[in-house]
Structures are given as C-alpha cells and as structure tokens.
Amino acid sequence: MEHSNPPVYISCVSNELGRIRLRVSKILEDKGFTPVFQDIFGTEPGDLRQMLRDKIDACQGLIHIVGHAYGAEPPTHDPEFGRVSYTQFEFHYALKRRKGPGSFSRTTVVPAISR
C-alpha cells in the first residue's frame, strides 16, 4: 500500500540529538514524508520494545542519527541483539526489517544534513 505521505522513523538519543531530529523532521515534512519518532508517541513505563517494533513496522524507512550519548536501556537484554539501548534497538530492528538507509520507496531525495 502506497502512502500519500510515507512515514519515516527518525531514531536518535533524544537528550543529545533531539534538536537535530526536529530539523530532520521538518525537512522530511517539506519533502512530503510523515516523520515518526519517540517524542511524538511518548513512552510508557516498562519495556518499550514492542511499541517501537510496531512504530518501525508501520514506517517505510529509518533515519538513524548517531552521536556520542548512550540512551536508556530496556529492562532486560534483548534476546536477539544483546545489551543495547532503545536507540540501538531501533537501528538493529529496522535493519532486520529492511527499513534502514536507502529503503525509501518515494522518489524524492532527502538532503543530507551535516553538523
């Protein structure tokens, strides 16, 4: 099913790169995509991995913004990916689902952001 505004998941450690994620979000919106990220749908207490899986599965691609900070971890190690933060989990899960960089189905090119 083709979306009129394809959803794209934006992953990063919020307290370090949240402002950059908002800039990326704006660029995606300007290019006709619907940005999806953790600050939009919030968090509940406990393990967030199933909620993240559901959000990533509903998206057509992932943009993973990498910095130096290490984010919050799930309460237990992931059986598939080991000890990872939620941000690392988002990245590994998206790659497993073939939603990593370059998997956009839209012909619009999203410009790279430096610094």
Is the pLDDT higher at 114 or at 53? 53
Contact indicator for 25, 10 with CB cutoff of 8 Å? yes
Closest CA to 8 of 31, 33, 40: 33
Judged against a pLDDT cut of 70, whether residue 53 lies above it is answered with: yes
Distance of CA 34 to the CA centre of its chain: 12
How many percent of the chain have pLDDT more than 70?
A: 79
Count CB neighbours of 108 within 10 A.
11
Q: What angle do CA 53, 55, 38 make, to 5 degrees?
A: 105
What average pLDDT does this structure show over 31-49?
82
Maximum Cα interatomic distance, the chain, rounded to a whole number of Å: 39
Average pLDDT of the chain, as a whole number = 83
- Looking at residue 54, what is its pLDDT? 95
Sorted by where each begins, the domain ranges of the chain are: 7-96
CA gap 11, 94 in Å, rounded: 10
Residue 85 has pLDDT above 50, yes or no: yes
Q: What tens digit of pLDDT does each residue of 6-38 get? A: 999 999 998 888 999 999 999 999 999 999 998
pLDDT in the model for residue 38: 83
Determine the Cα–Cα distance for residues 104 and 115; give it in Å rounded to an integer.
Answer: 23
